[in-house]
Amino acid sequence: MSTSHELIRTAVARSAILIDRKDWDALDTLFTSDATFDYPAPLGSHSTVASLRQTLQATLQDISTQHALTTQTIELNGAAASVTTFVTTTIVTNVGTSTNIGSYDDELVMDSVQGQERWRIAKRVTHNFPQ
């Protein structure tokens, strides 16, 4: 049986992997139905998973990404958790490669599926670090 911390780390990691693999439909299993998002431009703010999905599909259509998650803190509060994760994103386009560094500030909530503990992201605020 996995601990809450392991399940939370997995949820945050899945968000990066799903975006890198462009597995847009799977985002519904990772985020709550009322999740909110605040990303720097060009992604912007979103109040639904559907809106985020549409923007990701359009923005990343001809772009490949690879997210590397590093330092992370998890603060549990019952069935809720606040998580900060440092992230380095490599972005590959037809004109070259660039790297963004920043962090995710996530709020997760616990629910259960068939009696198994599951953590889903309810809020994400993304910050880019100055370069």
Residues 57-88 have pLDDT tens digits of: 999 999 999 999 999 999 999 999 999 999 99
Tell me, what's the pLDDT at 7?
Answer: 97
Give yes or no for residue 32 having a pLDDT over 80: yes
Whether 4 contacts 117, CB under 8 Å: yes
Separation of alpha carbons 29 and 14, rounded Å: 10
Give yes or no for residue 96 having a pLDDT over 80: yes
Give yes or no for residue 50 having a pLDDT over 90: yes
How much is the mean pLDDT over the chain? 96
- The full set of domains in the chain, from first to last, is 4-128 (3.10.450.50)
Tell me, what's the pLDDT at 130?
Answer: 81
